[in-house]
Amino acid sequence: MNGLYINGKRPTSKKAVKAAVAADPSSVSIDVTSMFGHQPYQTAAGMAIGDKEYFVGPDPYTSRKFYGTIERTEKGWKVS
């Protein structure tokens, strides 16, 4: 599970993630937590169509209160 940052701060809820992705996908940074994880992009805006990222928040290391996915489709981004 990856962590996220919205404009440099951890999100407080999945609702905040949805709003940020809808408003400006480049404001959502993906924090890869696996030492073996690699991705060719750093923000949701850089995701290719068909890419899916799983996230946990607010902090993947200390507080796992919500989980979700960000997926880029042909119609745009979907947070679920």
Q: What local confidence, expressed as pLDDT, does residue 1 receive? A: 87
Q: Please, which pLDDT band fits residue 63 given cuts at 50, 70 and 90? A: very high
Q: What local confidence, expressed as pLDDT, does residue 40 receive? A: 65
Q: Which domain holds residue 50?
A: 3-79
Q: Would you say residue 65 has pLDDT above 90? A: yes
Question: Per-residue DSSP letters for the chain?
Answer: -BEEEETTB--S-HHHHHHHHHH-GGGEEEE---TT---S-SBGGGPPTT-EEEEEEEETTTEEEEEEEEEEETTEEEE-
Q: What local confidence, expressed as pLDDT, does residue 33 receive? A: 86
pLDDT digits (tens, 9 = 90+) for 2-50: 999 999 999 999 999 999 999 999 999 999 888 776 676 789 999 999 9
Number of structural domains in the chain: 1
